[in-house]
A and B are shown apart, each in its own frame.
Chain A
C-alpha cells in the first residue's frame, strides 16, 4: 500500500507543484500591493487584502479538486503505466484506495490551509467582514462545488483518456448547473436560503454519487 501511495503522490507531483506555485503567487501578489503603498499601511488594509487572497485560494483549490479528480486514472493511462500497474499482483481495490487517498488529501490540505487563513483573519476583526453567516455560506458553497467538481472529473476520468477533457466537461456541468439553479431562483422567487440548500444538496449529492459511481465502474471493468 505504501508503494502505491508513494507512486500516486509522484504521479500527481506536477499538479501539486503547480498548485503550490499558484497559491504562492496569489499571496506574493497580495504582499506586493503593499510595496510602494500610496498611504500609510493600516492593519485593516492588510487583513482585507489577505482575506481576499484566501478566498481566491479557496476557489483555486476548488479548481485543483477537479484536476486531481480528472487526473486520477487518465494520467496513468497517458503514461501507459496503467498497464504496468494493472499487471502487478495487487487488487483494484487497493489501487483505487490509494488514488482516492492522494487525490482527495492533496486538494483538501490546500483547501484547509486557506480555510484556516481566512478564519484566522476573520477572528482578528470579526466586525469588518460582516455577518458570520454570509462568510460561512461562501465557504460551504465553494466546498460543495469542490466536491462536485472532484466527483465529476473522477467519474469521467475512469473512462476518458484525457485529464484535460474530464476537467473541461466537469467544469461545464458544474458551472452550468449552478447557473441554472441561480436562474430558477430568480424566476420563481425562491428564497436565498432554499436556493442555498438546493446548491448544497445538488453539489454534495452529485459529487458523492459521481465519486461512488466512478469507484464501482473502475472496480467492475477489466481494462486498466
Chain B
C-alpha cells in the first residue's frame, strides 16, 4: 500500500460527503502524483472546500477512503498533520496572537520546524513580528497563514483559495513565496482557486469540480491542446445543426454556431461539414478560462 502511496501522496477513492440531504461531494476519486501541482477549480459551492476539509482531516467523509502521504484520514489524522501544510480559505490564526506568538505557537507543535525558512519568508513577506493577527491586512494575513503552513517542510501542501481577494501584487508575492519553497523541495501541492491565470501558471494538472463531481482531470497543457472551439457559419439563421462527437458545449447566435469540443480531431470537423449546411468553418484555440466555463456550461445544460 505504501508503494502506491509513494506515487500519489493525495489519494481519494469514491469519497462521498452528505450534509443532510445535500450531496456536497459525490463519489470523488482523485489521485495526485508526487511532486506535481494540482489546480482544483469549480464554481462556488461545487464541493472543493468540502473535499479539501476532508483531506486535511477536518471533516469525515460519509463514505470512501482518503490517504494523504500514505496515511489514512481521518483515522490517523493525528499522525498525518506533520505531513500536511494547510492554508484555509479564510485566515484562522488566533486574532489576538502577535505574528511572533503565532510562529512560536506553531513551532512548539511541529518537530521538524525549519526556522531558517521561516526567517527567510518573514523577510520576503515583510511581516511585522509585533503585529497582532487581527490587525494584519488581508494580504499579510494570507502570507502569515502560508508561512505557518509551510515551515515544517510538509510533503503535501493544500491551499484552499489562497489568493482570493488579494490584490495582484500581493498575489504575485504570495505565489513567489510558495514557489520559493516548493521549487526546491519536490512537494505535492493541491490548491483551489478562482483565478485561472494562477492555475495556469502553477498547475501541472487541473481538476474541475461541478456539483460534487469531478468533471475532468487532465494536464493543463494537454487540455489546452485538445480542447478547441469550432466556429461554423450556418446557411440559415438559427438553422438545424447536428453537433459532432466530443461536443462539450455549443451555442448558436444567428448564423454563428460555436462548438467547443474535447479531444479535438479532424473527424469532428468533417462531421460538422458533412452533416450540416455551413458556409464557413474555422478552429480556434481556447484559454483555460474559456475551457473551464464551457465545460461547466455544458454540464449545466445537460441537466
**A and B directly contacting (CB within 8 A):** yes
CB <8 Å contact, B60 and A222: yes
With contacts A80-B92, A83-B92, A87-B84 taken as known, whether A3 is within 8 angstroms of B58 at the C-beta atoms is: no
Q: Is A90 interfacial (CB-CB < 8 Å)?
A: yes
A91 proximity list for chain B (CB < 8 A): 78
With contacts A88-B81, A89-B82, A223-B58 taken as known, whether A83 is within 8 angstroms of B94 at the C-beta atoms is: no
Closest residue on chain B to residue A13 by CB atoms: B96
With contacts A3-B105, A3-B109, A79-B95 taken as known, whether A87 is within 8 angstroms of B86 at the C-beta atoms is: yes
Count how many chain B residues have C-beta atoms less than 8 Å from C-beta atoms of the other chain. Answer: 26
For B109, give its contact among A81, A90, A92 (CB under 8 Å).
A90
CB <8 Å contact, A222 and B59: yes
A82 proximity list for chain B (CB < 8 A): 92
CB distance from B17 to the nearest CB of A (A): 11
Bound CA–CA A10/B97 (angstroms):
9
Contact with B along A52-94 (1 / 0, CB 8 A): 0000000000000000000000000001111110111111100
Bound CA–CA A92/B74 (angstroms):
13
CB <8 Å contact, A88 and B106: yes
Q: Is B108 interfacial (CB-CB < 8 Å)?
A: yes
Q: Is B88 interfacial (CB-CB < 8 Å)?
A: yes
CB <8 Å contact, B93 and A84: yes
Bound CA–CA A91/B88 (angstroms):
20
CB distance from B131 to the nearest CB of A (A): 17
Contact with B along A13-39 (1 / 0, CB 8 A): 100000000000000000000000000
Q: Is B255 interfacial (CB-CB < 8 Å)?
A: no
Q: Is B217 interfacial (CB-CB < 8 Å)?
A: no
Contact with A along B237-263 (1 / 0, CB 8 A): 000000000000000000000000000
CB <8 Å contact, A83 and B77: no
Contact with A along B16-29 (1 / 0, CB 8 A): 00000000000000
**Within residues 91 to 147 of chain A, which ones have a CB less than 8 A from any CB in chain B?**
91-92
With contacts A222-B57, A222-B60 taken as known, whether A92 is within 8 angstroms of B93 at the C-beta atoms is: no
Bound CA–CA A91/B56 (angstroms):
14
With contacts A7-B105, A222-B57 taken as known, whether A89 is within 8 angstroms of B92 at the C-beta atoms is: no
CB distance from A181 to the nearest CB of B (A): 38
Majority SS at the chain B contact face: loop
Q: Is B90 interfacial (CB-CB < 8 Å)?
A: yes
A221 proximity list for chain B (CB < 8 A): 60
Q: Is B110 interfacial (CB-CB < 8 Å)?
A: yes
Bound CA–CA A41/B252 (angstroms):
97
With contacts A84-B92, A84-B94 taken as known, whether A89 is within 8 angstroms of B109 at the C-beta atoms is: yes
A90 proximity list for chain B (CB < 8 A): 78, 81, 109
Bound CA–CA A87/B83 (angstroms):
10
With contacts A89-B110, A223-B59 taken as known, whether A83 is within 8 angstroms of B88 at the C-beta atoms is: yes
Bound CA–CA A10/B102 (angstroms):
13
Contact with B along A209-224 (1 / 0, CB 8 A): 0000000000001111
With contacts A3-B109, A92-B78 taken as known, whether A86 is within 8 angstroms of B94 at the C-beta atoms is: no
CB <8 Å contact, B57 and A86: yes
**Within residues 168 to 224 of chain A, which ones have a CB less than 8 A from any CB in chain B?**
221-224
**Within residues 28 to 69 of chain B, which ones have a CB less than 8 A from any CB in chain A?**
56-60
A223 proximity list for chain B (CB < 8 A): 58-60
Bound CA–CA A88/B58 (angstroms):
11
With contacts A10-B94, A81-B94 taken as known, whether A87 is within 8 angstroms of B58 at the C-beta atoms is: yes
Please name 17 further chain A to chain B contacts, defined as beta carbons within 8 Å, in addition to the given A81-B95, A222-B59, sorted by A numbering.
A7-B94, A7-B105, A10-B94, A11-B94, A79-B95, A80-B92, A82-B92, A83-B58, A84-B88, A87-B57, A87-B58, A87-B86, A89-B78, A89-B111, A90-B81, A222-B60, A223-B58
Q: Give B residues with C-beta under 8 Å from A.
A: 56-60, 74, 77-78, 81-82, 84, 86, 88, 90, 92-96, 104-106, 108-111
Provide a sorted-by-A list of 18 A–B residue pairs whose CB atoms are within 8 angstroms.
A3-B105, A80-B90, A81-B92, A81-B95, A83-B58, A84-B93, A87-B56, A87-B81, A87-B84, A88-B81, A89-B109, A89-B111, A90-B109, A92-B78, A221-B60, A222-B59, A222-B74, A222-B77
